[in-house]
Amino acid sequence: MAALARSVLRYSARHEAAASDSFADHVVNGLGDDPKWLSAKYFYDAAGSDLFEQITQLPEYYPTRTELAILSENARAIAASIPLAAALVEFGAGSSRKARILLAAAPQIAAYVPVDISPELLAQEASRVRHDMPHVAVFPVAADFTRDFDLPAQIRNRPHVGFFPGSTIGNFEPEDATEFLRQAGRVLGSGATMIVGVDRIKDEAVLNAAYDDAAGVTARFNLNILRRMNRELGGDFDLAAFRHRAFYNAADHRIEMHLESLHAQTVHVAGRNFSFAKGETIHTENSYKYTIESFRALAETAGWRPVATWTDAHDYFAVHVLKQ
Ligand code: AVI
């Protein structure tokens, strides 16, 4: 998955306004707040990216394999919504695994534009696609895909198709998800198509297990942010003094991840002391879930017209096609 692409995830507007670009400032803001919070974008250092890859293989974590199956099984139908000689623009490309399914099924795609914050990852994936699919012109763009960026001049006259898989949109607060889709519409231009993978509201037991797996990989992923603060910001977090908590908040349609302090303690990090009461948590991530209708409504608010949706037999995940 888009390891470093995750590093540009935004959090709520309130959090975004409070946060600065530096990890240290972010930690001082977030841990100084009540309730305490940290942005999920800081999960993705090298160890966190590796743990996320492991999460995508877990039996409980259905989103990755379900989306891959939806894309593979419906590739031809999805490809039919892609115009002739189109350019496929992937937001937060990371690994091009999902885009390759579309590229293989839609030979009318003439160009692939992976957009990612990490130039190294981009160069690596671009050369893989060039090698495997020589008929596709690849124009990587190193940019923060949540902000306005210019498309390469070479694709300016082609029909534009945006691609945003993985339900990464679920890690945005709904108002930020709307703003992201609006901004993607501006970048892609009028007449564009957008293909978005979105996790669906479902049985709470399935959701809870996906974010609190039996092998404890998601717990390690969550706790890794403490390790990162220790390493990068001179912190003295005792990882054994916190536990991973993940639960579905039905009222807000989101999985919440927290790190819960097992006893009263004071931690020193980023040059400050932060006190924790027993049971107090740091809120580290939201992962919003949508019904087909609630996501379509959000897309419409952002100026897109939903034209088709593909899903799986369990109704776990949805791939939406939107047009401007
Ligand atoms: C990256 N993102 C879509 C994942 C999700 O499901 O919200 C991140 C994740 N957090 C815990 N497990 C996976």
Q: Is 64 in the pocket of ligand 1 (CB under 6 A)?
A: no
Q: Is 171 in the pocket of ligand 1 (CB under 6 A)?
A: yes
Q: How far is the CA of 195 from the centre of ligand 1 (A)?
A: 19
Q: Is 166 in the pocket of ligand 1 (CB under 6 A)?
A: yes
Q: Ligand 1, residues 39, 55, 257, 258: which to mutate, most atoms within 8 A of Cβ?
A: 55
Q: Which residues contact 17 (CB under 8 A, 6 or more apart)?
A: none
Tokens of 156: 């300016």
Mean pLDDT by runs of 10 across the 324 residues of the chain is 36 41 93 97 92 97 98 97 97 88 97 91 92 96 90 97 97 97 96 98 98 98 98 98 98 98 98 98 98 98 98 98 97
The structure tokens 């639960």 sit at 247
Q: What is the pTM of this model?
A: 0.93
Q: How far is the CA of 287 from the centre of ligand 1 (A)?
A: 7
Ligand 1 atom with minimal separation from the 63 CA = 6
**Which residue's alpha carbon is nearest to atom 1 within ligand 1?**
168
Q: Is 287 in the pocket of ligand 1 (CB under 6 A)?
A: yes
Q: For 133-216, where are the alpha helices, taking DSSP H only?
A: 174-188, 204-210
Q: How far apart are CA 320 and CA 299, in angstroms?
A: 10
Q: Report how far apart, in Å, the C-alpha atoms of 163 and of each of 12, 57, 89, 285 are.
A: 23, 22, 6, 23
Ligand 1 atom with minimal separation from the 56 CA = 13
Q: How far is the CA of 207 from the centre of ligand 1 (A)?
A: 11
- pLDDT 10s digits, 9-67: 433 433 444 444 699 999 999 999 999 999 999 999 999 999 999 999 999 999 999 99
Q: Which helix (H) or strand (E) holds 279?
A: none
Strands, DSSP E only, in the chain? 36-37, 86-91, 109-116, 137-138, 141-142, 160-164, 193-199, 242-249, 254-261, 265-269, 272-276, 281-288, 305-311, 317-323
Q: Is 224 in the pocket of ligand 1 (CB under 6 A)?
A: no
DSSP assignments along 84-101, one per residue: TTEEEEEET-SS-HHHHH
CA 266 from chain centre, in angstroms, equals 32
**Which residue's alpha carbon is nearest to atom 4 within ligand 1?**
168
Q: Is 285 in the pocket of ligand 1 (CB under 6 A)?
A: yes
Q: How high is the pLDDT of residue 93?
A: 75
Q: How high is the pLDDT of residue 21?
A: 63
Q: Which helix (H) or strand (E) holds 294?
A: helix 292-301
Cis peptide bond upstream of 35, omega within 30:
yes
Ligand 1 atom with minimal separation from the 246 CA = 11
Q: Is 29 in the pocket of ligand 1 (CB under 6 A)?
A: no
Ligand 1 atom with minimal separation from the 210 CA = 12
Q: How high is the pLDDT of residue 117?
A: 84
Q: Report how far apart, in Å, the C-alpha atoms of 206 and of each of 63, 315, 316, 320 are.
A: 11, 12, 9, 22
Q: How far is the CA of 226 from the centre of ligand 1 (A)?
A: 18
> Which long-range contacts link 304-307 to residues 24+ away (Cβ below 8 Å)?
304/181, 304/185, 304/194, 307/81
Q: How far is the CA of 228 from the centre of ligand 1 (A)?
A: 18
Q: Is 168 in the pocket of ligand 1 (CB under 6 A)?
A: yes
Burial of 76 (0-12, 13-18, 19+ CB in 10 A): exposed
Q: How far is the CA of 64 from the centre of ligand 1 (A)?
A: 10
Ligand 1 atom with minimal separation from the 1 CA = 1
Q: Which helix (H) or strand (E) holds 20?
A: none
Ligand 1 atom with minimal separation from the 199 CA = 6
Q: How high is the pLDDT of residue 6?
A: 38
Q: How high is the pLDDT of residue 119?
A: 87
**Are the C-beta atoms of residues 31 and 282 closer than 8 Å to each other?**
yes
Q: Which helix (H) or strand (E) holds 231?
A: helix 217-233
